[in-house]
Every structure is written in C-alpha cells, then in structure tokens.
Amino acid sequence: MTKVDERTRARPRRGVALSAEPSPRLQLGMWGTIAIFAATLAATVWLTWPTPPPETSRAHAFRDVDICVLTDARGVTVEPAKTAWANLQPVASSARVRLSYLSVSGPQTAQRAGQFLSTLVQRGCDTVVAIGPTQTAGAEAAIVAHPDVHLLTVESDAEAAAIGSRVATLIPARVDLGIRMVVEDQTTMRIPRSSGRTGVRR
C-alpha cells in the first residue's frame, strides 16, 4: 500500500478566484465604443438640426422730412386724391422721406379743414398737400400762421397727375437733413438737422 504524505493530505486545495470586474483591456474597448457612438450621435444631430432663417433688419432709415396729404372724409380712395396719392408714393420712396395722409372727419367745411391742417403742422409735416376745394380753402386760410410749411393744392385730375414732380422740387438736398431710424417697436433715434426749413410756401 502506498503511503500518503500526511502533509499533502492536510494541505487544503486552493481554487482560482474569478474577478467580478472586467479586465483593463475590456474596459478600454467598452469606453471606446461608447465614445464613438456619442460622436456619431452628435454629428447626426448637428447635420439634421434645422438652420434658422437669416434675420432681416427691422429698422428703416428715413430722411427727417414729412409729406402730408389732407383729404376729405373719403380719404385716398376717390379722385383726385387717389391719383395724387399714387403719384406721391414713388417720390417719397425714392427720396426716402415719410408720406402720410389725414382725412377730415366731422363737418366737411373749410374751417374744419383748417383745424386739421394745424394738426398736421403740429405733427411736424414739412409739406402739406390739400386735396379738394374745401380742403384747399381751409388750408390756405390756416397756413398763414405757419409760414415755414410748404402748402400745395390739388383740385383737378391734371393737378393730381403733376403733384409728384411738384413735391419733389420741395424736398431739400440730402446733405441738409438728418436721419431718423424707425424701428418696428416704434422707438426712434433722431439726429438733429444741420439747417432749418426753407420757409418757401407755394
């Protein structure tokens, strides 16, 4: 019978312990895969993200000149006001000046028209175009108190057709005027004029 060494029999067996954590090489591979996935996702989002439309400027530069039209209660929808208004628009646009009209409300009398002309002067109108016999009579009476404002009158279709060229001659040269920036929220920035009005009235 073979004799067994007592020291060998008493020696306990040693097992191999398995680590619960992955090896450094495996960890490196996992993080590399995650990094590649994240980079690919970011690139995809960047390429597919909608591009916002370019912003357009909401500010418009106007010369500090106001051309104002005075009409009866019907406004610029009837002749000769309709033709006069149509001929004034390209003049104002080309010269970059402001153009507006004011309709006389209430009694259609010369006295009432004169009151509305004074309103236009208070608003800073440089040139007033009175359209129709009633507005003409009222404006001519009221303009005496405002010699620094130009007054033009329109009582016929022929005068309405020619009003654009007449107003154009009254717009001062650009070097004599400041600029006002009119923004959408109605705030204004004003640069004072270098000279006053001409004082010509026709």
Query: What mean pLDDT is predicted for residues 89-111?
Result: 95
What end-to-end distance do the CA atoms of the chain give, in Å?
A: 146
In this predicted structure, the answer to whether residue 113 has a pLDDT above a threshold of 90 is yes
pLDDT tens digits for range 120-179:
999 999 999 999 999 999 999 999 999 999 999 999 999 999 999 999 999 986 544 444
The better pLDDT of the pair 32, 189 is held by 32
CA distance 130 to 136: 5
Domain ranges of the chain: 60-190
Helices (H), the chain: 6-10, 24-48, 81-95, 110-122, 133-142, 157-168
| CATH architecture assignment, domain 60-190 | 3-Layer(aba) Sandwich (3.40)
Q: Are 152 and 129 in contact (CB under 8 A)?
A: yes
pLDDT at 172: 80
